Each structure stands twice: as structure tokens, then as C-alpha cells.
Amino acid sequence: MSRVRLYGNRPTQCGYCPAKRPSHQYVLEAVHLAIDDYQALIDRGWRRSGMHLYQPDRQQICCVPYTIRLDTKHFKPSKAHLRVQRKLDEFLEDRHTSSKKRKREPADEDGPRAKKKAAPSPLLATLQACLKTAVMAVLESHGADVVAAGAALHTKIRVLAARAAESDRGAFSSPAAHAVCAYLNKATGASHIVANVAQGIADALQLPPLTTVTAVNGFLNFHAATESVASNEAPTPQLPPTACEAVPDATPTLPRQKRKWELETIRPANTPEIYEIYKAYQAHVHDDTAVTPASFESFLVASPLPAVPGSAEGSFFQLYRLDGELVAVGVVDVLGDNWSSVYFFYKPAYASLQLGTYSALREIARCGSGYYYMGYYIGNCTKMQYKARFTPSELLCPVTQTFVVATKDVLARTDADASQCVCLAPAHGVGDSSDGVDIDGIILHFPDGPVAVADNKTSLHPVVLDHLRDFAAVVGPDLTRRLGVQMY
């Protein structure tokens, strides 16, 4: 059973704006924390920092934070996201484009830059033709006007030679399903899911020998035995999305890739190599020069989540290596299909690669079909705007404790006045926030053993009862019964 110590409502400073105005946050220390209980806490707006859980007091803060999560099943990378991926690909290929030249090039995938690629292989041309036929069959099966659709989509139905060291891409990849899905939604007025459209195209594909296709996150990834690095090598197997316990990504080195890019997932550890990057990042990005190995340990290494050997759940470090050199670390909590991003730090020398966005895309791709929790979103906070660009995302309504799709209208409500805690849900009174506070179900743990509050109300000090009422109010009735309270 999960057990927490109560730290109460503590004074702090707003950490989200330069004003650093006084604010308050409710703090718990988790002694043990079951995955399900942690998930329930996140879904009530809590965040984790080492062994501590905190929830800003939204009535006493200048920047009200809303928990934001991405629906990964329906995620579609934006052009800006694809640019980040391409930038890293180019870096790995050692293709240096001068910044002047880069400025003149359009940001669009279909721009002249795409034409500078090496001459397409015969297989690529074959795949292109197969894809077109399969897409037309899918469009027809949905009742779309094939001629009009073909004209509208002809530049979008493309197969690209994969240049990234991406384990989840084959030698060739196509984003065509995203365009087909958008077209179908517009043409039919129905709401199609890109993953289903991609699967439909994959099923309709008639591929050349020794070529296979997988549909992952709406992308079609082609694996061709004849075009992989070593011609006698089998296509790279797909890793199950959450099989991440100390498993290095099976990263194929593509012919044009000059630098080696690897991702390794380990349990959190305070090694000199990792700590040095954290220290450099804090000093460079946050102007924080007071870090110590002990502060790093308590902030990011310590975790109350179970670390069962062989389990894909719990807290992990994702280590990104370039030619063997550690360049970035993502700290994540894996909760079944859901991933929660805790922190990310990188070597300041690699800031131009936008590794923060890259790692988020990587984590989203690996979190399967669940939600990707991106921490807090604050209206009008420019540093947080990037989170809302991962769509479709949802914000937690602090009044009803329900998630609400982050439409333009909902985001505008948080932007109107960042210091006002606003109800985001369409109807009030949906959640449990108006329920009376009941502390009878709480189990207190003393050195001598557990006791139920219900049986000992008269012997407990009024101050203790007040603390328990505050706790019950802030975690809600369900977690009040699930979280044991450690009294020593």
C-alpha cells in the first residue's frame, strides 16, 4: 500500500515567472507509491520531484498551472516537429548547411531542399508506386472521389528514404497517412483516426519481395532487407513500446549516417558522467550554480515508485549518446501505457539541436497508445507554449478534476488572466471537489502499527485532525482511502 508523510501547505515562490512572488504548495513525501496511486495523483494535478509530490495552491499563486497531457494515439507531428527531426538527421549525416543558405530554404517538407537528396533508389520508386495504389484503394473504400483526392494529395503521397538513426523507422518511411486522414475528415465530415488510416493503407499495400511495412503512430515504415546496412541482415525488429528496462534501442546505422546516435534506458543513477551534464545544464540554462551530487540525487534520482527488475514500469533515465558520448538525459515515469515527462537536461554545446523537443517526440513514440504527461501548462507563459503545440492535448480542469480538450477557446481562457484559477470544463459540478471532507477512511501508520482514524478520533490531537482534513481535501475522497499516512 502507498504511504505518504504530510508536509502541509508550505510557502514557496512562484517558479514560473521572473517575479518569483510568494505562493503556496501542498507537499507530500511518498515513502512507497504504487503506480496506480501515482497515476491517480497526476490526474488530480500533482507532480513528482524526487520522493516528494507537490500541488501548487491554485488560490495563492500568480501563475496558475494546469496539468497538460497529450493523447498519443491521435498525435500528429507538426511541421516544426518534423524540422527538429530533420535537423538531427542532417547533423548525424554531417551535412553542414550554412545558416544563410538555410534561411533561404522554405520550412516545408516539399521544398527545394527535399530535391537535393541523393538519387532515389529503384526500390524507393517501386514503393512510391505501391503506396499510391494502396492509398487510392483506401480512399475509394471510404467513398472519396478518387480523381479529386489524387489531385489534392499527389504531392503528399510520398515515400522518404529514412535518414535518421531511428529504431522505429525502417529504411523508408511515409507520413502519407496523416494527409490522407486529414483529407478524409474534410471530405466526408467524419472523424477518422490516423493510426487506423495508416493500418488500412498498410493492409492494402502489395509490396515487392523482401519488403515489409509497419504502421506506427500514423507513419508507414518500410523495412527492406535489400536496402539495409548489411544486405544479409534481417529487417530491424520493432521494439515493444514499453519494453524499456535497460534495453538499448536497436538503432540501425543507415548508409549515409556518419555519426552514431543511441538511446539507452536505465533506472535512475547518479554517475559522474550523468551528474556532470546536469550540473552544466543547470548552470547554463537556469543560472543555477549551487547544485551538488546530493541535490541531483534528491531531485531526479530518488523515486518512490517501485523498481522491479525486468519491469517496464517506474522511473527511468533515457540516455542519448552521440558516438558514445552522453549528450542528453530524459527523466521519465512509465505508468503502463502512459508516460510522464519529469525532466530533461542536455550538454549546453548541443542546444542548437533542440533536443528537448526531439526527446519529447521520442518519448511520445515509445509510450504506445496512452497519454504523454508534459507537466504543467501556464497561460501566457512563453516557455510553456511549446506544450500546447503537441496536439491533441488536454488540460486538467482544477474545478471539476476532469480533462478537457485544449481547444483554442480553452487555452484562451487560461491566457486571459494567468493568476486566475478558471474552470475549464463546460459544466460545473461534475467532479468530486464539492464533496464533503471525510477523514474516517484514513489509515495512520505508527511505529507500533496501523490505526484507523475512525476508531481513534477522540484520542487524536485537533492539530493532527486539521492536517488530515487538509490532506483529504487536496487528494480527494478516493485517494484519502488509498494513501496510508506515515506518522513518524
What does the binding site for Zn ion look like in residue numbers (CB under 5 A)? Answer: 14, 16-17, 62-63
Tell the smallest beta-carbon distance from residue 20 to Zn ion (Å). 7
Residues 6+ apart with CB under 8 A from 256: 93, 118, 163
Do 35 and 335 form a contact (C-beta atoms < 8 A)?
yes
Tell the smallest beta-carbon distance from residue 378 to Zn ion (Å). 8
- DSSP-derived 3-state class of residue 303: coil
Tell the smallest beta-carbon distance from residue 425 to Zn ion (Å). 24
How many Cα atoms within 13 Å fall on the side-chain side of residue 12? 19
Closest CA to 38 of 488, 482, 487: 482
Which residues sit opposite 215 in a β-bridge? 220
* Residue 64 vs 328, nearer CB to Zn ion: 64
How big is the CA angle at 450 (ends 448 and 456), to the nearest 5 degrees?
A: 105
Tell the smallest beta-carbon distance from residue 9 to Zn ion (Å). 17
Tell the smallest beta-carbon distance from residue 180 to Zn ion (Å). 44
What region, left, alpha or beta, does residue 95 occupy, with left being phi > 0 and alpha being psi -120 to 50 degrees? beta
* Residue 16 vs 183, nearer CB to Zn ion: 16
Rounded CA-CA distance 138/157 in Å is 13
Tell the smallest beta-carbon distance from residue 268 to Zn ion (Å). 29
End-to-end CA distance of the chain: 17
Rounded CA-CA distance 467/13 in Å is 22
Do 72 and 217 form a contact (C-beta atoms < 8 A)?
yes
Rounded CA-CA distance 365/260 in Å is 20
Tell the smallest beta-carbon distance from residue 131 to Zn ion (Å). 50
Tell the smallest beta-carbon distance from residue 126 to Zn ion (Å). 57
* Residue 62 vs 187, nearer CB to Zn ion: 62
Tell the smallest beta-carbon distance from residue 416 to Zn ion (Å). 16
Closest CA to 21 of 30, 11, 29: 11
Strand 338-346 with 371-377, pairing: parallel
How many Cα atoms within 13 Å fall on the side-chain side of residue 426? 4
424-432's contacts with Cβ under 8 Å and 24+ in sequence apart are 424/66, 424/395, 424/396, 424/397, 424/398, 424/399, 425/397, 425/399, 425/400, 427/400, 428/399, 428/400, 429/400, 430/400, 430/402, 431/397, 431/399, 431/400, 431/401, 431/402, 432/401, 432/476, 432/477, 432/478
* Residue 64 vs 194, nearer CB to Zn ion: 64
Do 237 and 221 form a contact (C-beta atoms < 8 A)?
no
* Residue 23 vs 315, nearer CB to Zn ion: 23
Tell the smallest beta-carbon distance from residue 21 to Zn ion (Å). 6
Handedness of CA 140, 142, 145, 151 (dihedral sign): negative
Do 167 and 240 form a contact (C-beta atoms < 8 A)?
no
Q: Residue type at 106?
A: P
- Cell triple for residue 454? 475512525
Tell the smallest beta-carbon distance from residue 382 to Zn ion (Å). 13
* Residue 55 vs 221, nearer CB to Zn ion: 55
* Residue 62 vs 327, nearer CB to Zn ion: 62
* Residue 191 vs 382, nearer CB to Zn ion: 382
* Residue 16 vs 373, nearer CB to Zn ion: 16
* Residue 62 vs 473, nearer CB to Zn ion: 62
* Residue 16 vs 296, nearer CB to Zn ion: 16
